[in-house]
Structure formats: structure tokens, C-alpha cells
């Protein structure tokens, strides 16, 4: 069993991006600029956005953070998105979710210019991904693909089973791995929490990707010997052994499943660190006009 070290891979990617940005600066090119909008004071959202700002600083990007109270109006937020859309210096815009209940998240995401949608959530970019056009891939699926690539995990003619059908992870990664690409060319089965007899599908998986947010859903008897297991789940559960009283738990029963696997991602330290790096890669692509000419 080999552990897939997302933290190590993310550091490699971060240094690769920093090297490229230094080269761009040396040649007098456009320095990538990422803008983030944060509403309210959700602890997880604040931490995540702060990490993104620090990542930008590390690789030499410019970054702008617009932080507002959670009583702002939808109209104000839409106007701010439009202002950033029209700012030629800003290459990427992320609106940190979740938004307050009185704001329609989908309406806000659709208001973002697809050419600056570095989260890859805009329907235009999802459509481009589905038909194989250059696009900004959603960060977590892109991170999964990157881990598979960098660990030289064979996907050609393999059976990939994805558990979880969200628009952010499960559905996009199932599309990407079925494509005529490398990694790709897999036979993909897409399951979800209501799939009857889930075990009959997971036992067929050469590569099992799980993203449903149900801690410990995948148990030892649901995984075949030698499978690759990629666990996207990160749920805070109570713990007696940590100072905080909580720990992050994945969708896979790691201790029981790991001995059966050829490769497995830990939680934390697996897919998570890659998500932020893919956001940086999308911003760099945008600054270089690689997706939209």
C-alpha cells in the first residue's frame, strides 16, 4: 500500500507555479491577479480564503479580498461581481460559499464572467468541460486528476466507481475520467448515497473515488484487493484525542481499508491540499489567456 501524499504534490505544484510567475515577471508579462469575495464570519470560509491569499503571496500573484458583513443585499453583491468582471487587471474571481440564505448562490455564480470563473462552476465552463473544450476545471476534480497523473496510476480501460454526484466533485470527475485523455479512457460508474446495494458496485472498482460527506461510509468489505481509493470526504467529528475536541474524518474507514489498497489518500492531507493549487493553476491559465483567447 502506498499513501498518496497530497501535501507533498501540492508543494511541488506551488513551486512550479512560483517559478513560472518569476519568469513572467522577468519578461515583463502580466502578473496573475486573483480576487475573492467573502461574506460573513464563517470560521471555515475565513480560514480557507486566508489560505488562498497566502498561496497567492507565495507564488507571486496579486490578490484582492473583498470582505462584507452577512447582511449585504443580493443587489450589492451582483454589482460588486459586475465591477470585478469589468476590471481588466483581475484574472480570476471566486465567491466563497456558502452565502447567506437571502442570497441566491446560483444567481451570483452565473453572474461571474466565465473568463474569470477560476472555480470552474459557471454553466459555460461546465459545458466546455463536458464537450472537451479548453476550460477552467473545478478545482477538486482537477486535483484528483493531478494526483492520478503524478502517481502514474493507470486509468486506461480501468473501472472507476465514483460515489457522490455533486456538481462540484462527483459528476465532473466522472466526466473527466471517461474522456479520451490521459488520465482517462476509463469505464465509469456514477453512484450516490441512494444507490441500492452500493457494495456490488464498489467491489468492482479498480479506482474508487468517494465524495459524499458520510464519515466511514466505505468499509473494508466494500473494497477489492489492490484497488486505488481516493477519499474526498472531510467531515468534522468529535474526538477525545485532539486538543480541539474534533478531527477530520473521511468517507472511507481508512484504518480498515488501507491494507487492501495499492494506493489510498489520507484525510486530511490527500485531495484537500490539491484543491487550492488547482485554483492557482486556473488563475495562471486565465492570466495567460490559455482558455479564452
Task: Quickly state the pLDDT bin for 1 (edges 50, 70, 90).
Answer: very high
**Residues of the domain holding 93:** 29-113
Q: Are 144 and 230 in contact (CB under 8 A)?
A: yes
Catalytic residue among 80, 96, 115, 249: 96
Note if 107 is an active site residue.
no
The answer on 262 and 149 residing in a single domain is yes
Catalytic residue among 5, 52, 80, 285: 52
Rounded to an integer, what distance in angstroms lies between the CA atom of residue 184 and that of residue 154? Answer: 9
Task: Quickly state the pLDDT bin for 60 (edges 50, 70, 90).
Answer: very high
Catalytic residue among 5, 91, 117, 119: 119
Residue 293 has pLDDT above 90, yes or no: no
Task: Quickly state the pLDDT bin for 43 (edges 50, 70, 90).
Answer: confident
Q: How many domains does the chain have?
A: 2
Rounded to an integer, what distance in angstroms lies between the CA atom of residue 194 and that of residue 61? Answer: 43
Per-residue pLDDT, 242: 76
Look up the CATH number of the domain holding residue 42. 3.40.50.10860
3-state SS, one letter per residue, for 171-185: HHHHHHHHCCCCCCC
**Is 200 among the domain residues?**
yes
Note if 260 is an active site residue.
no
Task: Quickly state the pLDDT bin for 288 (edges 50, 70, 90).
Answer: very high
Note if 57 is an active site residue.
no
Query: Tens digits of per-residue pLDDT, 72-99?
Result: 999 999 999 999 999 999 999 999 999 9
Amino acid at each position: 500500500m502506498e499513501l498518496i501524499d497530497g501535501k507533498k504534490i501540492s508543494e511541488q505544484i506551488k513551486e512550479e507555479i512560483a517559478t513560472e510567475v518569476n519568469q513572467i515577471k522577468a519578461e515583463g508579462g502580466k502578473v496573475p491577479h486573483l480576487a475573492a469575495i467573502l461574506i460573513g464570519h464563517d470560521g471555515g470560509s475565513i480560514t480557507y480564503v486566508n489560505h488562498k491569499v497566502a498561496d497567492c503571496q507565495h507564488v507571486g500573484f496579486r490578490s484582492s479580498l473583498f470582505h462584507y458583513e452577512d447582511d449585504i443585499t443580493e443587489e450589492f453583491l451582483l454589482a460588486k461581481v459586475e465591477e470585478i468582471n469589468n476590471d481588466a487587471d483581475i484574472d480570476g474571481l471566486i465567491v466563497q460559499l456558502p452565502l447567506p440564505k437571502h442570497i441566491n448562490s446560483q444567481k451570483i455564480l452565473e453572474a461571474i464572467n466565465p473568463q474569470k470563473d477560476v472555480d470552474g462552476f459557471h454553466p459555460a465552463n461546465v459545458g466546455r468541460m463536458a464537450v472537451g473544450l479548453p476550460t477552467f476545471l473545478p478545482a477538486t476534480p482537477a486535483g484528483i486528476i493531478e494526483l492520478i497523473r503524478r502517481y502514474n496510476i493507470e486509468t486506461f480501460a480501468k473501472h472507476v466507481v465514483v460515489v457522490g454526484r455533486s456538481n462540484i466533485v462527483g459528476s465532473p470527475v466522472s466526466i473527466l475520467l471517461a474522456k479520451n485523455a490521459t488520465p482517462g479512457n476509463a469505464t465509469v460508474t456514477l453512484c450516490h448515497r441512494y444507490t441500492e446495494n452500493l457494495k456490488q458496485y464498489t467491489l468492482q472498482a479498480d479506482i474508487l473515488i468517494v465524495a459524499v460527506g458520510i464519515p466511514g461510509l466505505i468499509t473494508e468489505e466494500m473494497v477489492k484487493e489492490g484497488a486505488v481509493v481516493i477519499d474526498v470526504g472531510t467531515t468534522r467529528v468529535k474526538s477525545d484525542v485532539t486538543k480541539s475536541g474534533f478531527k477530520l474524518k473521511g468517507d472511507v474507514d481508512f484504518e480498515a481499508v488501507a491494507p487492501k489498497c495499492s494506493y489510498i489518500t489520507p484525510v486530511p492531507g490527500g485531495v484537500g491540499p490539491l484543491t487550492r493549487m488547482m485554483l492557482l493553476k486556473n488563475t495562471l491559465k486565465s492570466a495567460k489567456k490559455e482558455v479564452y483567447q
